[in-house]
């Protein structure tokens, strides 16, 4: 049986850098092609022969990495645009046949994600899309474990390696779930983007201050202290941020070994060495936990404790997946012709699967934040949709102490200013409506055009 899988040492590079592919496989013919994600995708290299051998999966590869030898090296040409690239590995038998890879199974087609940053940030676009690479690492169970119990026999791992297959593709909440659609939509609208990763947000390369707008798309759940510090400073200096994402900035992570490992103890935060040392500013629990006392609301305006699920985890499974507009006169709704109380986005269920909210009260028929949960005082709720936590979470210490609302929640799309402007869609699935729903398209374009 033919199969192939692989990974690259650095997920994010600049032109002139050399990428190193590590792969394992069996087959008579093994090759790779590289495509830039666009609408349609653009082939950059095609059917380049590579030589691979059948490599073992080491014990605890999920934590220490695959450790496979370098199969192929390539210097990124100077003229490659900043963007997302798919390295497609193929292994064929003597009959020139191959079959698609299935998650957690060996197969003869395997895709590897590559992000190319701009050599000079903001040189081709004032907009930076930083992909949720920390979330890819957290959910990836290649090698036997992830940071989750559901796909980790024997229990989740608090430490995961970034040096293994399955990152970006073949993992839950991967690049191809939301960000790929967003990039293709922007390409169709002739909106240039430059790309980077969560880890780049953490290290903040020279020139990142030159961007006007930084985007978060999809499921941007895992954030380091460096990521938050850098983005909050960016906003304080007048930079704009748009969270077309949900469950954002939920769990705290630390990077080790120059980004080769990611640490997050999550529910077992008391086992984190930083807990005993009382280094709570980098404790890997929920950002909203009182020991950290830095709820995600203070950055995005909303948080998961006051939000929850919609059409997922047995919650609102028959929900319509729509938002209700509350402030249709706001500039984000220009050109939509929405009226107060009208719903939008339901045809493509943009509400879900995980949503963020804030504490609020009704005044003159409209929701207004109470701001007792870290939400900025000038945050304006523009639209809402129902969501709530699934049952059982209220029995777990870390969630209880972080203020989850089991009885109900509400996704709160909104906006605030703190020198820079911050918009939040408060839902993971916003991108599912792009190119399909003219109202979702119009809101997205209004935000990008205003903030870029």
Output the CA–CA distances (angstroms, integers) from residue 327 to 32, 190, 301, 363, 446, in the order listed. Answer: 50, 29, 17, 13, 15
The pLDDT of residue 99 is 47
Shared domain check, 424 and 317: yes
The closest alpha carbon to 200, from 92, 82, 308, 49, belongs to 82
For residue 271, is it within any domain? Answer: yes
Shared domain check, 254 and 111: no
The pLDDT of residue 95 is 55
**Entry field: residues in the chain:** 452
The pLDDT of residue 323 is 99
Q: Which two tokens stand for residue 69?
A: 């030898």
Shared domain check, 429 and 297: yes
The pLDDT of residue 97 is 53
The whole model's pTM is what? 0.96
For residue 178, is it within any domain? Answer: no
The pLDDT of residue 7 is 98
Q: Is 167 exposed, middle or buried (0-12, 13-18, 19+ CB in 10 A)?
A: buried
For residue 236, is it within any domain? Answer: yes
- Are 307 and 353 in contact by the 8 Å Cβ rule? The answer is no
Q: How many CB atoms lie within 10 A of CB 347?
A: 15
Domain end call among 92, 116, 140: 116
**How do residues 250-277 score in pLDDT, each as one tens digit?**
999 999 999 999 999 999 999 999 999 9
Shared domain check, 101 and 216: no
Longest dimension (CA), the chain: 72
Domain end call among 86, 101, 116: 116
For residue 194, is it within any domain? Answer: no
CATH number, domain of 32, equals: 2.20.130
For residue 94, is it within any domain? Answer: yes
The pLDDT of residue 106 is 54
Query: By residue range, what is the domain housing residue 31?
Result: 3-116
Number of structural domains in the chain: 2
Spell out, as residue ranges, where the chain has pLDDT lower than 50: 99-105
For residue 377, is it within any domain? Answer: yes
Shared domain check, 223 and 79: no
For residue 384, is it within any domain? Answer: yes
Domain end call among 82, 116, 150: 116
């Amino acid at each position: 049986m033919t199969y192939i899988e692989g990974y690259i040492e650095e997920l994010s590079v600049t032109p002139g850098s050399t990428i190193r592919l590590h792969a394992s496989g069996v087959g008579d013919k093994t090759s790779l092609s590289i495509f830039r994600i666009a609408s349609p995708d653009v082939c950059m290299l095609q059917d380049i022969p590579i030589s691979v051998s059948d490599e073992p999966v080491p014990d605890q590869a999920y934590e220490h990495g695959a450790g496979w030898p370098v199969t192929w090296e390539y210097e990124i040409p100077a003229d490659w645009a900043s963007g997302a690239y798919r390295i497609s590995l193929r292994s064929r038998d003597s009959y020139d046949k191959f079959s698609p890879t299935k998650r957690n199974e060996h197969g003869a087609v395997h895709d590897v994600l590559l992000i190319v940053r701009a050599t000079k940030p903001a040189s081709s676009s004032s907009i930076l899309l930083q992909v949720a690479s920390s979330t890819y690492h957290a959910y990836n169970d290649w090698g036997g474990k992830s940071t989750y119990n559901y796909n980790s026999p024997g229990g989740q791992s608090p430490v995961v390696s970034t040096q293994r297959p399955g990152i970006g593709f073949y993992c839950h909440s991967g690049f191809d779930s939301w960000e790929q659609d967003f990039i293709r939509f922007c390409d169709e609208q002739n909106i240039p983007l430059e790309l980077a990763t969560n880890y780049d947000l953490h290290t903040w390369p020279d020139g990142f201050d030159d961007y006007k707008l930084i985007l978060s798309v999809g499921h941007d759940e895992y954030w380091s202290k460096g990521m938050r510090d850098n983005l909050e400073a960016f906003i304080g200096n007048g930079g704009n941020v748009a969270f077309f994402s949900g469950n954002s900035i939920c769990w705290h992570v630390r990077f080790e070994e120059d980004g080769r490992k990611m640490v997050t103890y999550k529910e077992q935060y008391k086992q984190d060495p930083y807990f005993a040392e009382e280094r709570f500013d980098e404790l890997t629990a929920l950002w909203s936990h009182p020991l950290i006392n830095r709820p995600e609301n203070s950055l995005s305006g909303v948080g998961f404790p006051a939000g929850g699920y919609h059409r997922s985890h047995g919650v609102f499974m028959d929900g319509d997946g729509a938002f209700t507009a509350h402030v249709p006169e706001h500039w984000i709704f220009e050109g939509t012709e929405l009226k107060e109380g009208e719903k939008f986005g339901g045809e493509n269920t943009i509400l879900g699967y995980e949503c963020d909210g804030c504490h609020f009260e009704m005044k003159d028929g409209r929701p207004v934040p109470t701001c007792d949960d870290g939400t900025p005082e000038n945050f304006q709720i523009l639209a809402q949709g129902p969501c709530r936590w699934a049952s059982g979470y209220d029995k777990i210490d870390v969630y209880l102490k972080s203020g989850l609302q089991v009885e109900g929640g509400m996704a709160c799309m909104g906006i605030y200013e703190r020198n820079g402007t911050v918009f939040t869609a408060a839902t993971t699935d916003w991108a599912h409506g792009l190119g399909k729903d003219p109202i979702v398209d119009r809101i997205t374009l209004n935000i990008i055009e205003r903030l870029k």
